[in-house]
Amino acid sequence: MPVTAYDKVGSGGDPGGPAFINGRKYVILVYGSGDTMHEAMYAEAMENGAAVCRLCPHHCMRKDGKLGLCGARMNHGGQFVSLNYGRVTSLGMDPVEKKPLRRFMPGTMTLSAGSFGCNLACPYCQNHSIAHGSVESRYVPPQEMARLAAKQDVPSLSFTYNEPLVGYEWVYDAARMAKEAGIKVILVTNGYVERKPLAQLLPYVDAMNIDLKAFTEETYRTVCRGSLEPVKRTIAEAAKTCHVEVTCLLVTGMHTEEELTEMFDWLAGVDRELPLHLSRYFPRHRYEEPPTDLVWMERMGRIAGERLSYVYLGNV
Ligand code: SF4
C-alpha cells in the first residue's frame, strides 16, 4: 500500500495534535484514513446473508448490517468484518509495571496502544469510553507499531486499554511484525477468546496480564455477560508458552472470601510462581458501591500469599 500522508498521533484524547508522549516527540506514519473494514478471521458466512463470528465464546450470529456484542465486528454483506483494524484511540508510553506486569522486564517502558470494543460488559468498567463508547481514532498500520517501538528504543509493545482480542487481525499482524523486529509483545486482556485463535496468536506473545474477574460462573454470566471456563482455559494455556500475570479487581460486594480462596487455590495449581495482582476498585460507569475496603483487601492478600509466591495489592 503506498504511503499517502505523514501524520502525527498524540497521546490520549488528541490524536491529531502534537505528537508528544510523556515529553518525547513521536512522528507516526499513517496511510491516509486506512481501511475502515478488514476481513475477519474466525468467522463464517451462513445461509440467507447471516454470518457467525467464532473469535470469542459469544459466537455472535448476525444478519447483514448488524454488530457483534463487542461493537468491533459486524456482518457486512454476509461476511464478518473487523471495524477496528488499526484504529488506534490511545497511544502512550507506560512503565511496564503499569500494565500491570511486575516480573517481566522490570524497570522498562512499553509502547502502549488501544483501539475500541470489548466482549464483556462489566458495569464497573474502568475504561468504558473506549470499551463500549464512541471515541476518535486514527489509522496506524501494523508495521508502524514495530517501527515506532524500535525507533524509540522501547523493548516492548503492549496491546491494552480496550480488549485487544476483539481487534484480533490487527493485533496478530502487528505482533508478528514486532517479533520479527525483536520487540517483545504484551497483551493486557480479559482472556475471553476461543482456543484456536489463542493458539494461533501465542507464538508471537511474550507476556500477558489476564483479568480474572470472579471465580463463579454466575458472576461472569450475570455481571459481565461472559463465562468463567474460557478465561480459566486462556490462563492455563498461555502460562505454558509465555509469561503470565493475573489481575483480579476486588469489586465491593462482588466476591466472597470462599470464592477467592478457591480462585487462589486454582491459580496455585496452574503455577504457584504466577504473579497475582489484587486491585482496589473505585466507583465507575454504572457501579456505585464504595471503594474496596482496605482491611478486607489486605486479608485477601494474606490468604493469596499463603498459596502463591507473588501477590501484589494495586490501586491502594
Ligand atoms: S469477538 Fe465480538 S463479534 Fe466475535 S463472537 Fe466475540 S463478541 Fe461476537
Three cell numbers, residue 196: 484456536
Mutate to test the pocket of ligand 1, among 37, 67, 73, 168 (most ligand atoms within 8 A of CB): 73
At 94, which amino acid appears?
A: D
- Give the HSE-up count for residue 244: Cα atoms under 13 Å, Cβ half-sphere: 27
Residues with Cβ within 8 Å of residue 229, at least 6 apart in sequence: 217
Look up the CATH architecture of domain 86-314: Alpha-Beta Barrel (3.20)
Question: Could you list the mean pLDDT of each consecutive 10-residue stretch along the chain, which spans 316 residues?
Answer: 29 36 46 68 96 98 96 95 93 95 97 95 83 79 92 93 97 97 97 98 98 98 97 98 98 97 98 98 89 97 98 96
Instruction: Specify the residue with its C-alpha closest to ligand 1, atom 6.
Output: 56
Mutate to test the pocket of ligand 1, among 41, 42, 56 (most ligand atoms within 8 A of CB): 56
Q: 118 alpha carbon to ligand 1 midpoint, in Å?
A: 9
At 133 the pLDDT is 64
Ligand 1 atom closest to the Cα of residue 68 is 3
Q: 72 alpha carbon to ligand 1 midpoint, in Å?
A: 8
Protein residues whose CB sits closer than 6 Å to any atom of ligand 1: 53, 55-56, 58-60, 68-70, 73, 119, 166
Mutate to test the pocket of ligand 1, among 52, 69, 195, 196 (most ligand atoms within 8 A of CB): 69
Q: 238 alpha carbon to ligand 1 midpoint, in Å?
A: 20
Ordered by start, the domain boundaries in the chain are 86-314
Size of the chain in residues: 316
Angle at alpha carbon of residue 140, lines to 138 and 145, rounded to 5°: 140
Three cell numbers, residue 26: 513521536
pTM value? 0.90
3-state secondary structure the chain: CCCCEEECCCCCCCCCCCCEECCEECCEEECCCCCCCEECCCEEECHHHCEEECCCCCCCEECCCCECCCCCEEEECCEEEECCCCEECEEEEEEHHHCCCCCCCCCCEEEEEECCCCCCCCCCCCCHHHHCCCCCCEECCHHHHHHHHHHCCCCEEEECCCCHHHHHHHHHHHHHHHHHCCCEEEEEECCCCCHHHHHHHHHHCCEEEEECCCCCHHHHHHHHCCCHHHHHHHHHHHHHHCEEEEEEEECCCCCCHHHHHHHHHHHHHHCCCCCEEEEECCCECCECCCCCCHHHHHHHHHHHHCCCCCEEEECC
Q: 269 alpha carbon to ligand 1 midpoint, in Å?
A: 30
For the chain, the first-to-last Cα distance in angstroms comes to 47
Q: 181 alpha carbon to ligand 1 midpoint, in Å?
A: 30
Mutate to test the pocket of ligand 1, among 70, 75, 162 (most ligand atoms within 8 A of CB): 70
